[in-house]
Structure 1
Amino acid sequence: MGTFSLAPDQLDWCAELRELAGRRLAPLAEKGEPGRVNRPLVAELGQLGLLDRLFTSGALGLCLMRESLAQVCTEAETALALQGLGAHPVHAYGTKEQRERWLPEVSAGRAVAAFALSEPGAGSDAAALALRAEPDGDAWRLTGEKCWISNAPEADFYTVFARTGAPAEGPRGVTAFLVPADRPGLTGDHLDMLSQHPIGLLTFAGVPVGPDDVLGEVGGGFGVAMNTLNLFRPSVGAFAVGMAQAALDATLAHTAQRRAFGGPLKELQTVAHQVADMALRVESARLMVYAAASAYDEGADGVPRRAAMAKLLATETAQQVVDAAVQLHGARALHRGHLLEHLYREVRAPRIYEGASEIQRAIIARDLYRATEARKP
């Protein structure tokens, strides 16, 4: 993958996935209730075998799925990604019993997963989370809140990160738990967001968890969270690239047929140059995403920095490209139901979730300075 060129079979599969998304997934997405989990859509993702691929395709395969789906049906893309984000810690760190109980259900689209990390006072600063895991014999009781949790409060189980140690321990005092949704004391509410994804608030009122619910090791939850994000951050970039590509394709079609000032818009130099810049940004972001995903799959050095770079560049690029596409389309792009009106709402959130752009810059800079110090004689 040094040149980041995809093999013919990969290109063919991406084309097939885009066709499937338009024919089988988009109609189900249109029937979904805004702000709620679309279980028929999740079930269809399972029926098509896409959810099972979350655990077998590696980082690059995940990126190809997310980019391809995003070009056609962002709702299907998001449903797929959320299943992966919530279930990956179970796949990577779960016990045999945890994996056998939940992963087949996730792969089949029968169980909805969620990744419960963010809190009202600890969004991008994951080490500062305050959800308490209070000792109760050889077990714990979870007390506190999680906020802005995708698929909450409708998920069937949650990967929950709670503080088993003292606050002064920082990331070393965090443990990951697998918490089924029917545990006593666990409640939640829907949140009404700009982009109408299923997102909610979770309240833990002494929710019981035991040693059998731990993912990984006690005190190792921060590593579970960061390793999961290192896998999924490049694919957030792939989601952004897919949206940007859809906006670019729509702009190419529009400016080729739309006439103004005596000819097609594409013949105006200012328009042509802007379209060229859009294409340049999309391709640059795509290459950065593929590079980061390949580094993850190959076990290369600097994966957190590469993942941060990919997410940062791709999500910021997508915002710019979608905005430029809206400008070139004019008022029609702001009409509810237009592709670009949809993308304009969808493209904003990825610059915040799974680590805001500012956090990605901090990760990149910290890694660069660390590497510089390590090279000093």
Structure 2
Amino acid sequence: MNAFAFTPEQTAYAASVRKIAAEQLVELAAAGAEGAVNRPLLKAMGSHGLLARLFPGVESGQPTRQAAATDLCLLREALATQSTEAETALALQGLGSYPVLQSGLDEQVRRWLPAVAAGDAVAAFALTEPDAGSDAAALQLAAEPDGDGWRLTGTKMWISNAPEADFYTVFARTTPDAGSRGVSAFVVPGDRTGLSGEHLDLVSPHPIGTVVFDGVRVNRDELLGEENRGFAVAMRTLDLFRPSVGAFAVGMAQAALDATVEYTASREAFGGPLVKQQTVAHTLAEMATRTEAGRLLVYAAAAAYDAGEQDLAGRAAMAKLFATETAQYVVDQAVQLHGARALRRGHLLEHLYREVRAPRIYEGASEIQRTIIARSLRRRG
């Protein structure tokens, strides 16, 4: 794929996703309870094949273990232009499931991924802890040996889809004081004895909560990948998803830009359309240029991932950093040009203004992305 131009098939697919979202998913998203998993929305996305697109081959029983980063970005951007709720629901299914897809045993893949693709099972990625966020190597959730398995004790925090997920990808410490080399990954059913949690009240339309492990038993066949190599499992998934967070941001920026172009063309002020004011026109030009630059970074990183290129972490970090910071700028400028009406509850921009802030924090804050980029530069040097 040319990283700087979509194929006709990709353009047509993105248009079909936008159409499905506008005609069916928006209404289902609006009907959901804020802060709760919207299972009817997930089921609808499953019925339209949107979730299965995350896992090529899953419907035939032979899923491809290599993720399709470009497809993921196309899906996330297209959905985000119409419904951030639908976009986030899809993204969280992928984030929670990809460690299983990429590192799980065949029986783990068969157990969970068809249900996720159909919209019947809810996944969660349980990495962050109260004292281990950006420094993921500082994880303290203990995995203590117990026969041919382990018992998990500790707490995860700020976990999307918690505490409602049907299964969690959990990262726990199997070797004390070993940093990133002592972390293992597990797939843990949500109904496992000793597992509990609660919702956190955040500015977010999807559930975010804590997950508490009180001696939760996990078996050897629930280990993802190799023991003490779980940090690599997490990073492999995040390297894939960071550009797609950028795609989500680009979709939000595009929605804000489109709304602002339409509004400034119709709003009469100072004897003519608002867009004829030079300062307004120049602001729109800046918004459009930054959005397109973010898009190019995102799809260049995705294409590099799909091509198996090296140093993906640096490129993924650049894409996430620039696109999320750009989206914050574009949405803020859109609100400024719309004025007070944009802050009324229910307005598209009021919604985007609340939604756009979080991507600069999750899956590695902007400051962490800059650190990753700097490390990449040093390696090249």
Amino acid at match of 1:20: I
Aligned to 2:159: 149
Task: Provide the rounded CA distance (Å) in 2 between the counterparts of 1:41 and 1:54.
Answer: 16
Q: Match for 1:117 among 127, 146, 160?
A: 127
Q: Match for 1:96 among 100, 106, 123?
A: 106
1:2 to partner: Cα distance: 3.7
Task: Provide the rounded CA distance (Å) in 2 between the counterparts of 1:153 and 1:195.
Answer: 15
The answer as to 2:248 corresponding to 1:248 is no
The answer as to 2:20 corresponding to 1:20 is yes
Task: Provide the rounded CA distance (Å) in 1 between the counterparts of 2:147 and 2:257.
Answer: 58
Aligned to 2:270: 261
1:301 to partner: Cα distance: 1.6
Task: Provide the rounded CA distance (Å) in 1 between the counterparts of 2:184 and 2:254.
Answer: 39
Q: Match for 2:68 among 44, 58, 83?
A: 58
SS for the counterpart of 2:91 is helix
1:136 to partner: Cα distance: 1.3
1:229 to partner: Cα distance: 0.3
The answer as to 2:355 corresponding to 1:338 is no
Map 1:147-226 to 2 at 5 A.
Answer: 147-167=157-177, 169-226=178-235
Q: Does the 8 A contact of 2:125 with 2:170 survive in 1? A: yes
SS for the counterpart of 2:373 is helix
SS for the counterpart of 1:50 is coil
CA deviation digits over 1:326-375, x for unaligned, max 9?
Answer: 00000000000000000000000000000000100000001101211xxx
CA deviation digits over 1:205-228, x for unaligned, max 9?
Answer: 100011011001111100000000
Q: Does the 8 A contact of 2:3 with 2:296 survive in 1? A: no
Task: List, as ranges, runs of 4+ consecutive aligned residues in structure 1 with deviation greater than 2 Å.
Answer: none
Aligned to 1:42: 42
CA deviation digits over 1:190-213, x for unaligned, max 9?
Answer: 011112221110110100011011
Aligned to 2:147: 137
Amino acid at match of 2:35: G
1:121 to partner: Cα distance: 0.4
TM-score by length of 1: 0.97
Gaps of 5+ in 1: 373-377
SS for the counterpart of 1:11 is helix
118-127 vs 233-242, greater mean Cα deviation: 118-127
SS for the counterpart of 1:36 is coil
The answer as to 2:287 corresponding to 1:282 is no
Kindly report the root-mean-square deviation, in angstroms, between the aligned alpha carbons of the 2 structures: 0.8
Amino acid at match of 1:35: G
Amino acid at match of 2:123: A
Task: Provide the rounded CA distance (Å) in 1 between the counterparts of 2:148 and 2:361.
Answer: 37
SS for the counterpart of 2:211 is strand
Task: Provide the rounded CA distance (Å) in 1 between the counterparts of 2:122 and 2:296.
Answer: 32
Amino acid at match of 1:34: E
Task: Provide the rounded CA distance (Å) in 2 between the counterparts of 1:28 and 1:124.
Answer: 34
The alignment of Structure 1 onto Structure 2 pairs a total of residues equal to 371
Task: Provide the rounded CA distance (Å) in 2 between the counterparts of 1:139 and 1:81.
Answer: 30
SS for the counterpart of 2:124 is strand
TM-score by length of 2: 0.96
Task: Provide the rounded CA distance (Å) in 2 between the counterparts of 1:301 and 1:105.
Answer: 33
Gaps of 5+ in 2: 57-66
Task: Provide the rounded CA distance (Å) in 1 between the counterparts of 2:105 and 2:256.
Answer: 43
Aligned to 2:246: 237
1:90 to partner: Cα distance: 0.8
Amino acid at match of 1:127: A
Task: Provide the rounded CA distance (Å) in 2 between the counterparts of 1:266 and 1:105.
Answer: 49
Map 1:288-299 to 2 at 5 A.
Answer: 288-299=297-308
SS for the counterpart of 1:72 is coil
Task: Provide the rounded CA distance (Å) in 1 between the counterparts of 2:3 and 2:371.
Answer: 28
Task: Provide the rounded CA distance (Å) in 1 between the counterparts of 2:104 and 2:2.
Answer: 33
Task: Provide the rounded CA distance (Å) in 1 between the counterparts of 2:204 and 2:116.
Answer: 24
Q: Match for 2:328 among 316, 319, 332?
A: 319
Amino acid at match of 1:202: V
Q: Does the 8 A contact of 2:3 with 2:299 survive in 1? A: no
Task: Provide the rounded CA distance (Å) in 1 between the counterparts of 2:346 and 2:78.
Answer: 21
Aligned to 2:61: none
Aligned to 1:362: 371
Aligned to 1:83: 93
SS for the counterpart of 1:114 is strand
SS for the counterpart of 2:51 is helix
CA deviation digits over 1:243-299, x for unaligned, max 9?
Answer: 000000000000000011111110000000000000000000000000000000001
CA deviation digits over 1:99-148, x for unaligned, max 9?
Answer: 11111111111000000000110011111111000111221110000001
1:24 to partner: Cα distance: 1.1
- Aligned-residue identity in percent: 67
Q: Does the 8 A contact of 2:328 with 2:356 survive in 1? A: yes
1:3 to partner: Cα distance: 5.1
